[in-house]
C-alpha cells in the first residue's frame, strides 16, 4: 500500500504550514551559547573539533565557534576550530559572538586573517526597556554603539549579523531604529532574540513579521535570524513559527543546552522540519551528535528526551510490541518503524527496541529471545513470563539472560 493510505496526516489537513519551496538555514550555537549553561563542562578542543565535524555531517550551515573577546582560551579554541574548517574542507561556515565593542571585534578579524576563513561577527546588544532601565541606557546610546560597531566591522571586511537581545520584549519603535541603523551601517543579517524564552508562537510570528517589514523598508536583501530559549518549553514551536513569518536562519544547540533551562534543541528542530518536508538533511548521525555533546559537556540526556533519549524507541507493552512484530513479519521495515512511532527510528540512526516487563505478552518474550539467538522453549518462556509479571519494572538484559541460564540448566 502507499504511505498516504496508511497514515492520514492531520498536520497538513489545512494545507502546509510552510509554503512550498521554503528554505531554511541553521546556526548551531552549541559551542558558544550552549556552553553558557550553568551545568556544562567546557569541553577540550579535541571534543569541540569532533562536535564540529558532526555538525558538518548533519548539514548545519553555520557554527558559532565562540566568543574570542572572552579571553585567551576562547581565542585559542576559536582559532583552532576555524583552522579545522579550512584544513578539513568542511562545508559548515563560522561565526563568532561579539559585544558592540571594537575590543571584541578585533580578535575575530585577526583570527580570520591568520586562518584565511571568512568569519561572521554576531554583534549583540540589549534592546528591551527593562534592560535599558536596569543599565541606564538611552536609545540614542544604543544607536551610537550599533552604528560604530557595525561600521567598524564592515569597513574591515567582516560580515555582520546584528543581534538584539530580548527582542521579544522590546518596543517596536526601538527595534525599528536599531535595525535600521545596523542595516544602513552594513549588517547583512539581523537576529531576533527570545533571550529569556518569553515568546509564544503567536508572539514569535508577530515580532518576525514586524522585523521583516523593517527590512523591506530598508530595501530588503538582509537575512533574518531567530534565536530562542526554552524557559516556557516553547522553543521548537517558536522557531517554526518564526520560519513561517519570514526568518531564514534558525539557531539552536545540541540537546538544548544553554543558559538557565537552555536554548532551542537543534536536534528536535531538525527532526520536525524533516518530518514536515521542509528539509532533506541526512540525520543518521543525529543520535551520535547528541551523545557526543552530552558526554563532552557533562549534561546527561534524560531517558524521556524525544528522539535521542534512551526510551524514545523502546516498548515493553504487549499490544504495542505485537503490532511492531507483526509489521516486521510482513518484511516491511518502513511499516515496523512507524506503526507505533511518530518519528522513524531509522531516520536518526536508531531502531525499534522491544523489552520485557510486567505489561508484556508472549510476543515480547519470543521476539527478545529470537533477536538474541536464545532458546524459545516452553520452560524458558514460562520462566521469563513469571519473572516479568512479578516485577515492578522492565527486566534488564542481564536478568533475562540469567533466567534463561537457570531455565536451561541441565537441559541437553
Q: Is the dihedral of CA 28, 33, 35, 39 positive or negative?
A: negative
**192 shares a domain with 278:** yes
The C-alpha angle 239, 108, 126, rounded to 5 degrees, equals 45
User: What is residue 410's predicted lDDT score, i.e. its pLDDT?
Assistant: 52
Same-domain check for residues 131 and 199: yes
**Percent helix, strand, coil in the chain (nearest 5)?**
50, 15, 40
Choosing from 262, 297, 332, the residue where a domain stops is 297
Is residue 2 included in any domain, yes or no? no
**Do 352 and 204 fall within a single domain?**
no
CB count within 10 Å of CB 211 equals 27
- What is the mean pLDDT, run by run of 10 residues, along the chain of 412 residues? 77 78 94 96 97 98 97 96 98 97 96 97 97 96 98 96 98 98 98 98 98 97 98 98 97 98 98 95 98 98 97 92 91 91 95 94 93 93 95 95 88 45
Residues 198 and 69 in one domain: yes
Residues 111 and 168 reside in one and the same domain: yes
Residue 260 in domain? yes
- Domain with 236, as residue range(s), is 22-297
End-to-end CA distance of the chain: 46
Burial (CB < 10 A; 0-12, 13-18, 19+), residue 17, is middle
Closest C-alpha among 277, 234, 207 to residue 22: 277
Residue 24's pLDDT is: 97
Helix/strand/coil for 230: coil
Structural domain ending residue among the three candidates 242, 270, 297: 297
Place of cell 547583512: 188
Last residue of a domain, which of 263, 297, 331? 297
* Residue 13 resides in a domain: no
Q: Is 107 exposed, middle or buried (0-12, 13-18, 19+ CB in 10 A)?
A: buried
Looking at the 3D structure of the chain, how many domains does it have? Answer: 2
Pair 333, 283 in one domain: no
186 plus 61 within the same structural domain? yes
Task: Report helix, strand or coil for 314.
Answer: strand
Q: Does residue 225 lie within any of the structural domains?
A: yes
User: Is 134 in the same domain as 245?
Assistant: yes
Same domain assignment for residues 369 and 291? no
Q: Are residues 117 and 190 in the same domain?
A: yes
Q: Please report the pLDDT score of residue 13 as a whole number.
A: 82
Chain position carrying cell 571585534: 105
pLDDT at 3: 67
pLDDT of residue 412: 36
Helix and strand numbers, DSSP H then E, in the chain: 16, 10
In a domain, 7, yes or no: no
For residue 396, tell me if it sits in a domain: yes
- Residue 15 confidence (pLDDT): 75
- What letters, b where the CB count within 10 A reaches 16 and e where it falls short, cover 50-72? bbbbbbbbbbbebbbbbbbbbee
Contact partners, residue 199, CB within 8 Å, separation at least 6:
168, 207, 228, 234, 238
Q: Which long-range contacts (CB under 8 A, 24 or more apart) does 216-224 make?
A: 217/180, 218/179, 218/180, 218/183, 218/184, 222/183, 222/187, 222/188, 222/189, 222/190, 223/161, 223/188, 223/189, 223/190, 223/248, 223/249, 224/189, 224/190, 224/191, 224/192, 224/248, 224/249
**DSSP letter for each residue of 325-362:** HHHHHTT-HHHHTTTT-SS-GGGGT---EE--STT--H
What CA–CA distances, in Å, run from 143 to 120, 163, 390? Answer: 21, 13, 69
Contact 127, 166 (CB under 8 A): yes
Please indicate, yes or no, whether residues 154 and 69 belong to a single structural domain of this protein.
Answer: yes
- Report the CATH number that the domain containing residue 223 is assigned in CATH: 3.20.20.70
Is 61 contained in some domain?
yes
- For residue 302, being part of any structural domain is answered with no
- Say whether both 345 and 284 belong to one domain: no
Amino acid at each position: 500500500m502507499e504511505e498516504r493510505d496508511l497514515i492520514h496526516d492531520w498536520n497538513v489537513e489545512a494545507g502546509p504550514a510552510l509554503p512550498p519551496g521554503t528554505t531554511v538555514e541553521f546556526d548551531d550555537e552549541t559551542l558558544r551559547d550552549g556552553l553558557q549553561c550553568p551545568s556544562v563542562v567546557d569541553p577540550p578542543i579535541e571534543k569541540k573539533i569532533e562536535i564540529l565535524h558532526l555538525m558538518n555531517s548533519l548539514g548545519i550551515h553555520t557554527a558559532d565557534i565562540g566568543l574570542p573577546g572572552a579571553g585567551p582560551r576562547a581565542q585559542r579554541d576559536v582559532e583552532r576550530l576555524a583552522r579545522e574548517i579550512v584544513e578539513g574542507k568542511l562545508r559548515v561556515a563560522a561565526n563568532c559572538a561579539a559585544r558592540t565593542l571594537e575590543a571584541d571585534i578585533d580578535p575575530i578579524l585577526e583570527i580570520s586573517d591568520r586562518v584565511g576563513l571568512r568569519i561572521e561577527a554576531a554583534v549583540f546588544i540589549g534592546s528591551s526597556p527593562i534592560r535599558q532601565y536596569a543599565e541606564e541606557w538611552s536609545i540614542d546610546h544604543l544607536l551610537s554603539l550599533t552604528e560604530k560597531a557595525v561600521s567598524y566591522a564592515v569597513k574591515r571586511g567582516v560580515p555582520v549579523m546584528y543581534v538584539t537581545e530580548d527582542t521579544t520584549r522590546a518596543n517596536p519603535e526601538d527595534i525599528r531604529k536599531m535595525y535600521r541603523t545596523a542595516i544602513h551601517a552594513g549588517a547583512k543579517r539581523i537576529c531576533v532574540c527570545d533571550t529569556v524564552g518569553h515568546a509564544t508562537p503567536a508572539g514569535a510570528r508577530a515580532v518576525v513579521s514586524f522585523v521583516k517589514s523593517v527590512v523591506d523598508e530598508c530595501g530588503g536583501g538582509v537575512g533574518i535570524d531567530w534565536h530562542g530559549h526554552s524557559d516556557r518549553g516553547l522553543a521548537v514551536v517558536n522557531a517554526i513559527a518564526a520560519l513561517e513569518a519570514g526568518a531564514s536562519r534558525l539557531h539552536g544547540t545540541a540537546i538544548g543546552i544553554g543558559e538557565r533551562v537552555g536554548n532551542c534543541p537543534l536536534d528536535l528542530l531538525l527532526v520536525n522540519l524533516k518530518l514536515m518536508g521542509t528539509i532533506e538533511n541526512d540525520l543518521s548521525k543525529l543520535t551520535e551528535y547528541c551523545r557526543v555533546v552530552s558526554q563532552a559537556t557533562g549534561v546527561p540526556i534524560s531517558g524521556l528526551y524525544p528522539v535521542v533519549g534512551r526510551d524514545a524507541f523502546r516498548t515493553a507493552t504487549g499490544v504495542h510490541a505485537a503490532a511492531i512484530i507483526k509489521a516486521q513479519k510482513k518484511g516491511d521495515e518502513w511499516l515496523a518503524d512507524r506503526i507505533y512511532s511518530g518519528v522513524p527510528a531509522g531516520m536518526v540512526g536508531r531502531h525499534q527496541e522491544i523489552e520485557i516487563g510486567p505489561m508484556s505478552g508472549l510476543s515480547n518474550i519470543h521476539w527478545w529471545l529470537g533477536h538474541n539467538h536464545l532458546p524459545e522453549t516452553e520452560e524458558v518462556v514460562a520462566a521469563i513470563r513469571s519473572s516479568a509479571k512479578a516485577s515492578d519494572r522492565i527486566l534488564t538484559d542481564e536478568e533475562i539472560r540469567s533466567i534463561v541460564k537457570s531455565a536451561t540448566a541441565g537441559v541437553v
